[in-house]
Structure 1
Amino acid sequence: MQSTIFVSANKMERNGRIIDVRYDLTNEQFGKQLYKEGHIEGAIYWDLNDDLSDMTRDEGRHPLPSKEQLQQLFEQNGLYVNDAIYIYDQGASPFATRAWWILHYAGFNHAYVVNGGFEAMKGAGFSISKEVPIFAPTMLNLQWNDEILLKRSDMVRLINGESKTTILDARANARYRGEIEPLDAIAGHIPTAKNYDWEQLREGKDLVITSSLLAKVKKDEDIVVYCGSGVTATPVYSILKQAGYEKVKIYMAGYSDWVKHETVEQSENL
């Protein structure tokens, strides 16, 4: 399995494929506009809503596209499974890790998140362009990592004690405790979950392994990470994998899916 996930811009292979996923959850046009104004030469653009989610589905706020939709996305963009693929956002954001996780789920083992994002690549001498590259389509035989993706029914079984698993809520602590809830109808968290705010992984424009995260979970534990809608859980998942944790899964539909169907908890689990 892939061990290195985060790379610095000055250590990239210059002939790799590049994906721009800059985005802002409060401004849906933010990333598209930045891409038009200038992107790393050769980079294609994937939008969180248009490409990395299927907003017609009812599985949380950013539902994961079907395997068929994702395969079509990869093939239309001319990707091969063994390509070196470098993904950047604006740096220390959850969008590159969301795209990386999707590629990881589809069996791409040479995809990387560029720490520092766009500005780091620009600083490393990568050329900026306004041209939208076109690649010849491919045909892929994908080997999906189905075991890393959990559904709500899987979470119910875990909480009912069918296996010993640590559940990590990647949202802000105030949302986890149920003190505030700006997006969902009911405040709180999935029962038994512990909290680790993904923003603790931010160091400037990088996402980094932190001692506080390593203290929260042990390498021999089975771990499931979730957030509100499957975006900010991906930095926690990715950093754990970078740190050598092998038994990590994700509940991509997240709290926004759970809260519509199941009971929640508001007491803190340490």
Structure 2
Amino acid sequence: MLKSLALTAAAGYLGVAGLLWFAQESLLFHPQPLYGKPRPPPGWILEEVRFTTQDGTKLAGVLLKPATSGPHPLLISYGGNAEELTASAPAADQFGARAMLLVNYRGYGESEGKPGEAALLGDAIELYDWAAKRTDIDASRIAVHGRSLGTGVAVHVAAKRSVKCVVLTSAYDSIREVAKAHYPWFPIGLLIKHPFDSAALAPKLMMPALFVYGSADTIIGPAHSEKLASLWGGPAEKVLLKGRGHNDLELDPAYMPAITRFLDRHL
């Protein structure tokens, strides 16, 4: 009987490990449909973006600009794992009078393809280069803002391109470390296919960074943001919002002012 129980337990363990391996894309990426026609803030200009990547995948999003003469500083946004970015277009002016680029990941909104770490990171670099070449954008004043999953994309772009400053909302040191916290009994290091290892890049990044995170976040615990901030090579500011979880940070009255003040100082 003991042997039978041991075999059953082993089979169950291997079964769950196998499920984590095969289902991790569905756990990590939650593509969302377009929620409606994106609209700009009052008085702003909205340009639809239709971008074809080097491998032929068509990405879709919007570029929002204040109705003032350019070239404009630019904030490029990278969303969470269940975020359709263009839905936030009407609130672009909350980040200040600077252009904002909102292009959905592969499989999200009207973007084609299938999401994955290599694809998201490669697309982000291509989009950065496209934006930096525009005459209405000031290439010397480009910032990146990542939220949750998107923090790994933002850190990668900051490591590969000339980014003025970085804003990270609910950041992680790596997806691998987050997964270890949720599944401590499994060999996560062997199972993770999309590690998004921001911690490996952080020590060489010298631009200013702002970390905004919630004390009650049970999805990406605050320790992950704090670890990444401690590894950051340049100035790292931290804003801990007491009692906030993973999905209600933006409801905190201190959230947007903290980001806007940071961008005003550095961008």
TM-score (norm 2): 0.34
TM-score (norm 1): 0.34
Higher strand share: 2
Q: Which has the higher contact order (CA 8 A, sep 6+)?
A: 1
Higher helix share: 2
The structure that has the greater radius of gyration is 2
